[in-house]
Structure 1
Amino acid sequence: MRAPQRIAVVGAGLAAVSACDTLRAHGYDGDLVLYSAEQGLPYDRPPLSKDVLLGKDRREDVLLRPEQWYDDQRVRLREGTVVRAIRPQSGGVELAGGAVETADRIVLATGGTPRALPVPGGDDPEIRLLRTWEDSLRLRERLLPGARVAVVGAGLIGAETAAVAAALGCRVTLVDPVRVPLAAAVGDDIATVLHDRHRAEGIDVITAGVEHVERRGGRFVLGLSGYGAAVAVDTIVVGIGIRPATQLAQAAGLRVDDGVLVDINRRTSHPAVYAIGDVARGVGRRTRHEHWEAAQRDGEAAGRGILGLPGTDAGAPWFWSDRYGTRLEAIGTMADAERTVLRGTVESGAFLTFGMRDERVVAAAAIDRTRDIKVVRRIVDRGIAVAPAELADESTDLRSLLKR
């Protein structure tokens, strides 16, 4: 294929900005257009459930790049511009108003949309979801001292939102059908400590599914499965995952299966179209990686792929979550491990769990052990064989294992 004259990036999250950055850093000199459905400069999303919700961060505090960067990198940011369709065969993108703009390569960075509660009443427009800047601001208005708030879903977003609501003085109920959320990702020990912390902070934790939602006397009432009483609250926040925004890809005839299917260079089933971030799923990968670093690396991979540069090994996925003044960090997923090894004590509140398979570490998770997790990540990526006893022994310098 000939070198692209114009590249259209649809979406304006971290993956999209990372792709633009990579293209320019590796010498791309053509026209580069970034289509954003939202108004304003692109911003980072992790703070939305943390310091933005707390009222600490302003919009300018969470920008992915300052305004000058777009001029310096010659990235044409099209704010408030919705792409209605992509036309890879003819080389163009169709905008909401009907105009068609040319594009030799198209990068889909459309992300995902929060899942609504799939129960009667779950589509009430006053139920809060959290994905955008405006979502965070609207929710913040509800989190007043003494307000009764139900958070449905105790994964990363739900847990962080519940922690913020409690810090703001709300009376919080956290609902999830799983007894120990996140155990498959970070292991039972760490997941249990994290989930128990909600109760220690005064949150009412209920293990149940939501059967229906209704309004009574100005409040929401949640009917829960296997739970004797209904729960009445002022506000409901739902954090049960996202659906990849694959509509443009499907309409264009691209291969889609729980995300737009891509190769190592993030190229889709059409050679002129790439997909990155939450909307993309690598062929052979069981799940999409909906994490900050995965989005950044996807953008880098697509930028290199468009320019015909060799791909790079991203290594094991890494993610983090902050709540109650502590930090969770995880590498890989514990679902890939045959057994786990503990380093430190659960009682200390700051410990590390290794997931092992065939004498190699394939995953790890830690609470407040940032220095250790950085070393362990290199051990995982290098596939270094390690004895479980060495990992468990706090006197063993993990850095020494890298010399093997």
Structure 2
Amino acid sequence: MSDIVVVGAGQAGASLVARLRKGGFEGRITLIGEETAPPYQRPPLSKAYLMGDLELERLYLRPLQFYEETGVDLRLGAHVEAIDREARRVRVGGQDVPYDTLVLTTGSAPRRLPAAIGGNLDGVHVVRGLADADAMAPRFAEGARVLIVGGGYIGLEAAAVAAKRGLKVTLVEMSERILQRVAAPETSDFFRDLHSAHGVDIREGVGLERLLGEGRVTGARLSDGSELDVDFVIVGVGIAPGTALAEEAGLTIDNGIAVDAEGRTSDPAIWAAGDCASFPYRGARLRLESVPNAIDMAECVADNILGAGHAYVPQPWFWSDQYDVKLQIAGLSAGYDRIVTRPATGAHAASFWYFQGSKLLAVDAMNEPRAYMVGKRLIDAGRSPAPEAVADPKVELKSLLA
């Protein structure tokens, strides 16, 4: 019988321990999390939970009794201070917890604004954990002025919630367009128009010079010289993988904790999965920040700990909810050289298909679930329809699968 210790009680950690038990592992499992809440969903924090439409208990991935019934030692509010690889122990709260197998599912942390430009002022928030959402929720009062720094999906989702609650929203993005790092100009245009129609003031190609205020944020000076009066600020400028513990233990780091195709780190007794881990993919290394990847990779690692020997092959998909629009993304768009637009089937709808030459790489589908489902099936199967067929409204979507 062996001891498995899992550090990080988020989506990946919770998925991994459940899979171990489902796979028949009967040894001791210890799941350690820094937060005091049991493993919970994070995507609703910037949407339904922040809107007050979702109760706390409904965030939980599994009820607390699941961990008791399956014999998982769930340790919450616990900080892992160090890994002793030679003795195979982790130090938690001054005590040593032994392991035969250690899994790091340490996730990621939001990037914060430097203190030198006001990032430590009261009223400056990030959206990552339950405590973040709880701290900013009381500020979402009608008429309040909020500045959102960063035009990625987190920033846009927060802007949508704020606008729906009647706040005055200004969003600044220092790149030339919102979503520039992750989406085509067509998708950026779609969401810019959507937010503008809801009264959001989007300023692209404009950065934040500094926040203003004594102790509490009261304003912002932007890179174009303009100043804004603000009541609070939401920062959405990306996340960084949780690698500190692995680095201190001397594990190989390469855009996250580097693992092999099965999920092992440079120490064969230690594995990693989720946001924190980078894995081999098409001759390079890839790290994905998404719930589906956290679940799929964690379950693959759990299977491999039990001896399956399967290489992790991602089938990437993502989503975002803004106003009455559900964006669904299939595939990875990096390297595209052509965008094909499929005629929309309704209001506030569109789908953009990313091609590299004749190869389909990804699909962005806004309120177009059939386009998303067809695109995902094609991408997962490694098949590519003719771009001309995608663009032709007379060609049935389903026929692209033939």
Question: What interval of TM-score do these two structures reach, taking the shorter chain for normalisation?
Answer: over 0.9
SS at match of 1:93: strand
1:164 to 155, 161, 166: 161
| Matching of residues 198-217 of structure 1 within 5 Å | 198-207=195-204, 208-215=206-213
1:113 to 90, 109, 118: 109
Asked if 2 retains the 8 angstrom alpha-carbon contact of 1:355 and 1:363, the reply is yes
Asked if 2 retains the 8 angstrom alpha-carbon contact of 1:190 and 1:366, the reply is no
SS at match of 1:84: strand
How far residue 216 of structure 1 moved from its aligned partner, in angstroms, is 5.8
Give the aligned residue type for 2:399.
Answer: S
The CA RMSD measured in Å over matched residues stands at 1.9
Q: 1:295 is matched with which residue?
A: 294
Give the aligned residue type for 1:368.
Answer: N
Asked if 1 retains the 8 angstrom alpha-carbon contact of 2:370 and 2:397, the reply is no
What TM-score do the two structures reach when normalised by structure 2?
0.94
Q: Closer, same or farther in 2 for the Cα pair 1:184/1:347, shift >3 Å?
A: farther
SS at match of 1:202: coil
SS at match of 1:205: strand
Give the aligned residue type for 1:247.
Answer: A
Give the aligned residue type for 2:382.
Answer: G
How far residue 387 of structure 1 moved from its aligned partner, in angstroms, is 1.2
SS at match of 2:175: coil
**Take 2:384 and 2:202, find their aligned partners in 1: how far apart are those partners?**
40
Give the aligned residue type for 1:215.
Answer: G
SS at match of 2:124: coil
| Higher relative contact order, structure no. (Cα contacts within 8 Å, ≥ 6 residues apart) | 1
Asked if 2 retains the 8 angstrom alpha-carbon contact of 1:211 and 1:223, the reply is yes
Q: 2:221 is matched with which residue?
A: 223
Asked if 2 retains the 8 angstrom alpha-carbon contact of 1:43 and 1:59, the reply is no
Give the aligned residue type for 1:146.
Answer: G
How far residue 358 of structure 1 moved from its aligned partner, in angstroms, is 3.6
Q: 2:389 is matched with which residue?
A: 390
Q: Closer, same or farther in 2 for the Cα pair 1:176/1:297, shift >3 Å?
A: same
Is residue 84 of structure 1 aligned with residue 81 of structure 2?
yes
SS at match of 2:275: helix
Deviations 1:317-371 (A, max 9, x none): 1100000111111122333212111111499431211111242211111101112
SS at match of 1:206: strand
Is residue 233 of structure 1 aligned with residue 233 of structure 2?
no
How far residue 197 of structure 1 moved from its aligned partner, in angstroms, is 1.4
Give the aligned residue type for 1:336.
Answer: G
Q: 1:196 is matched with which residue?
A: 193
Q: 1:134 is matched with which residue?
A: 131
Asked if 2 retains the 8 angstrom alpha-carbon contact of 1:332 and 1:363, the reply is yes
Asked if 2 retains the 8 angstrom alpha-carbon contact of 1:12 and 1:109, the reply is yes
Give the aligned residue type for 2:99.
Answer: A
SS at match of 1:34: strand
**Take 2:326 and 2:140, find their aligned partners in 1: how far apart are those partners?**
23
- Give 5+ residue unaligned stretches, structure 1: none
**Take 1:206 and 1:190, find their aligned partners in 2: how far apart are those partners?**
17
| Matching of residues 5-404 of structure 1 within 5 Å | 5-96=2-93, 98-118=94-114, 120-207=117-204, 208-215=206-213, 219-225=217-223, 227-283=224-280, 285=284, 287-311=286-310, 314-345=313-344, 348-403=347-402
Give the aligned residue type for 1:128.
Answer: H
How far residue 23 of structure 1 moved from its aligned partner, in angstroms, is 1.1
**Take 1:249 and 1:273, find their aligned partners in 2: how far apart are those partners?**
10
**Take 1:217 and 1:133, find their aligned partners in 2: how far apart are those partners?**
24
Give the aligned residue type for 1:191.
Answer: S
Asked if 2 retains the 8 angstrom alpha-carbon contact of 1:184 and 1:333, the reply is no
Give the aligned residue type for 1:44.
Answer: Q
**Take 2:85 and 2:219, find their aligned partners in 1: how far apart are those partners?**
47
**Take 2:24 and 2:356, find their aligned partners in 1: how far apart are those partners?**
42
Asked if 2 retains the 8 angstrom alpha-carbon contact of 1:219 and 1:232, the reply is no
SS at match of 1:255: coil
**Take 2:82 and 2:254, find their aligned partners in 1: how far apart are those partners?**
19
SS at match of 2:126: coil
**Take 1:216 and 1:125, find their aligned partners in 2: how far apart are those partners?**
9
**Take 1:370 and 1:180, find their aligned partners in 2: how far apart are those partners?**
26
How far residue 394 of structure 1 moved from its aligned partner, in angstroms, is 2.7
Give the aligned residue type for 1:221.
Answer: G
SS at match of 2:263: coil
How far residue 122 of structure 1 moved from its aligned partner, in angstroms, is 2.2
